[in-house]
Amino acid sequence: MQKLLLLFALPLLLFSCNKNSAKLSTTSESGFVDLFNGKDLDNWNLKIRNGDAAEAKRIFAVSDGMVHVFKDHPDSLNLTQNKGALHGLMYTKKAYDRYIFRFEYKWGKKIFNNFDQFQYDAGCYYHVYDDKIWPFGIEYQVRYNHLTEENHTGDYWASNTLFQWTKGADDKFALPQNGGQPTAKRQGEHRAANAKYHALDGGWNTCEVIVMDSTYSIHKLNGQLVNYATELSLGKGIIGLQCETAEIYYRNIQIKEFKEFVPASAFVPGLSKR
């Protein structure tokens, strides 16, 4: 009889362990892969608006284990150009659909291109399906407005794509349980909720994009949920990090892929289980 009970109990125990393992794997460090080796960008495609491959390598310079954007370029270069020839991105060579993509950034001191219009501006594009400059896809905005002392990092920018999004009375992201209301699907800017951040103090910020194909995407800044969208019109694409209006440093660029769908609530308690 005891042997029989053990035979029934063992599968249940294994099932419970597997469930717990799956839950832990969403937030654990296991499974992350470095997309930047700290030495070169051989596994990335570098692209700038003027098509100059040699110049693109100069812009996305590798130094001291970091990607140092505009490292050797003179300060205030092309300062009022709206569509600067040196605008561009470093793109992954592979397309992704279900993953956590994370990276760290900090601002430098030099300013470039259309700084007068967008201040300190860069970003991370994902689900990119047209890698022109600027691309079609979804952007995790990396931006700081020193004039108003407002941080825009974590904003969505919908470039020829649509998704469902909820906002609060301040026109920034808010969950429905916190008063967020659905908005009509539209392109352009979708403001992130407030979070702690480093602006021009030399401190590093950690950005996370969590995506499950076309079902949802989550934006985190320094461990805090700042934006969330569902019903994405795109389900897969390459990922890119931007060079735009200011000197910026990137490091610890990593990705963790998921073979199976994981609900949003596994990453952030309280998010709808889609």
Do the Cβ atoms of 158 and 138 come closer than 8 Å?
yes
Residues 6+ apart with CB under 8 A from 126: 96, 101, 137, 138, 139, 140, 209, 211, 217, 237, 238, 239, 240
* Dist CA 173 CA 130 (whole Å): 27
The pLDDT of residue 10 is 39
Question: Strand runs (DSSP E) across 23-83, as ranges?
Answer: 33-34, 44-48, 60-63, 66-69
Beta-bridge partners for 227: 219
Q: What is the pTM of this model?
A: 0.90
What's the average model confidence in pLDDT over 98-102?
98
Write the pLDDT tens digit of every residue in 16-61.
444 433 444 566 789 999 999 999 999 999 999 999 999 999 999 9
The pLDDT of residue 114 is 85
Which 3 state secondary structure label does DSSP give 22? helix
Q: Which tokens belong to 251?
A: 């490091």
Write the pLDDT tens digit of every residue in 130-156.
999 999 999 999 999 999 999 999 999
* Dist CA 123 CA 240 (whole Å): 8
The pLDDT of residue 7 is 39
Cis preceding-peptide flag for 107 (omega within 30 of 0): no
**In this model, does residue 11 exceed pLDDT 80?**
no
Q: What are phi and psi of 199, to 5 degrees?
A: -100, -95
Domains contained in the chain, CATH given: 31-266 (2.60.120.560)
- Tokens 């003027």 correspond to 50
Q: pLDDT averaged over the chain?
A: 91
Nearest Cα neighbor of 47 from 247, 242, 183 is 242
Eight-state DSSP code of residue 30: T
Beta-bridge partners for 166: 182
